[in-house]
Structure 1
């Protein structure tokens, strides 16, 4: 099989998988669509398997395609590592792919990223948002160099480097806090719990805490960003469970209040990387900067 494969086939495969569309993959790669189709057909011929299922509005990988994805990402990573190794003879350059929760980037990482990019202008950082489960999977699949997650995945194939402890709090509007104070915690059972959705570990932690407090039957709303969650709480739509630092200014300004449901809850954020992943100079510099930044600032 190996003699039938070319690197450009893997690049095309990953583009189609991520774009979920042959036409968009062609635009991303600068190809005509027929070239993308040809690359996938040759790859399917080499593998002896159908790699994509055609849908009415795009494509999705078959089970064989999902298995191939891990190898394709590894191949691309190997090519980048080789390129970086050659470039290191001049000065640090290359790509570093990182995936983390949006709230962590907004509250903890933006300054560090700015400083790192200024110090290493030839290292390109690609940042993506996600939640615990998909961040871990992306690291396992070699799709990203690093992930930053809110709790240790406790896997033997992943290295977890603790960065900081994050205090999590329940927030609500003044009116809702007054209702809880007058009616008791049971009042929350009739209120809406607002979160990033069930993919977020904060949602899972909050659900357990609410259950332990005897609060059940909440309706739920899912929002994609921390700003939307804060606006919804401010408008009195419901209550939320988020990092305290994300609402520090609003709490100080009296825009929100804390709901005291339990003892302080702390989540340990950390950097994750596959134990068997070979890091080039660019990725090694980023890892050292992240570890140093949080050890000196937190």
Structure 2
């Protein structure tokens, strides 16, 4: 029986119940009267019962019609609830998990995160930090919906969307502090970090093959160690601009890579939820502004 019913016929039935007339129901719905007659005939055939008595002046529901009316009301309420729920899913809500490089988070995201939280109160944004490989792995296995990485991973299971090109710079302590330091090390996040590998190759090509390596877990700690004269580091210019202007760090005349293109990654074939789309749009518009 249910497979032979449809929403339009139920809506027509309700209009006839309200108007007690096929012609007035047709006017209300914007149909020709023959369409109303067809819809009611379909319902009567599907139910195997006569739903309305045709009278000289209009129609009256039969007992079967009254029984159907109660279920039609439930059908209409369920239909509206479904429409409301689908509309709700069009608005950013729920938990949004993002993983990104720590240096990128520190330099680029604080203001954007605050604006996002204020605008989309229904979203619980969970941001974590990591390195290139584990960010890709977490997006691939579905633990995070979005990742922010320093280059296109060139993985068939991921879509890469460029965000911004980061200019890289070698920094050191001021000359006096650097001269007082007993050793000059290459300071970085360690082997897992994309920047580390790029910097290590540049140093090797420039002839610096015997430098010690110091590894620290945050860009702020790396900068502090460099400022103290312990060594040099290759970092995004955006992370050290204030320290260079304040004379706390100096730029070194060492070879630097081409600007590194950071971008979002998402799982190929999976539709992004509104919360993720809104975050991408806000990040991109914030960087342009």
TM-score range, shorter chain: 0.5 to 0.7
In structure 2, how many angstroms separate the alpha carbons of the residues matched to 1:226 and 1:117?
Answer: 24
Q: Helix, strand or coil: the match of 1:278?
A: coil
Q: Secondary structure at the match of 1:199?
A: coil
Deviation of residue 280 (structure 1)?
A: 2.1
Match of 1:134 in 2: 134
1:87·1:93 contact (CA, 8 Å) conserved in 2? no
| Structure 2 counterparts to residues 175-194 of structure 1, below 5 A | 175=175, 191-194=184-187
Indicate yes or no: 2:208 matched with 1:215: yes
Shift of 1:293: 2.7
- Aligned residue for 1:249? 242
Consecutive unaligned residues in structure 1, runs of 5 or more: 1-84, 180-189
What is the Cα-based RMSD across aligned positions, in Å? 2.3
* Structure 1 match to 2:272: 279
Identify the residue that residue 147 of structure 2 maps to in structure 1.
147
Following TM superposition, by how much is the alpha carbon of 1:141 offset from its aligned partner in structure 2, in angstroms?
1.0
- For structure 2, the residue ranges without an aligned partner over 5 or more in a row are 1-84
One of 211, 225, 243 as aligned partner of 1:232: 225
Q: Which residue of 1 aligns with 2:171?
A: 171
State how 1:39-188 maps to structure 2 within 5 Å.
Answer: 88=88, 92-175=92-175
Q: Report the Cα offset of residue 175 of structure 1.
A: 2.7
- The whole-number CA distance in structure 1 between the counterparts of 2:128 and 2:153 is 19
How far did 1:271 drift?
A: 0.6
TM-score normalised per structure 2? 0.66
Deviates more, 1:193-202 or 1:271-280: 271-280
Secondary structure of the structure 2 residue equivalent to 1:221: strand
Aligned with 1:160: secondary structure? Answer: strand
Q: In the aligned structure 2, how far is the partner of 1:89 from the partner of 1:219?
A: 53
Compared CA separation, residues 222 and 90, structure 1 to 2 (3 A)? closer
1:21-68 Cα offsets, whole Å, 9 max, x none, are: xxxxxxxxxxxxxxxxxxxxxxxxxxxxxxxxxxxxxxxxxxxxxxxx
Count of matched residue pairs: 204
Greater C-alpha radius of gyration? 2
C-alpha separation between the residues in 2 aligned to 1:202 and 1:230? 14
Q: Which residue of 2 aligns with 1:47?
A: none
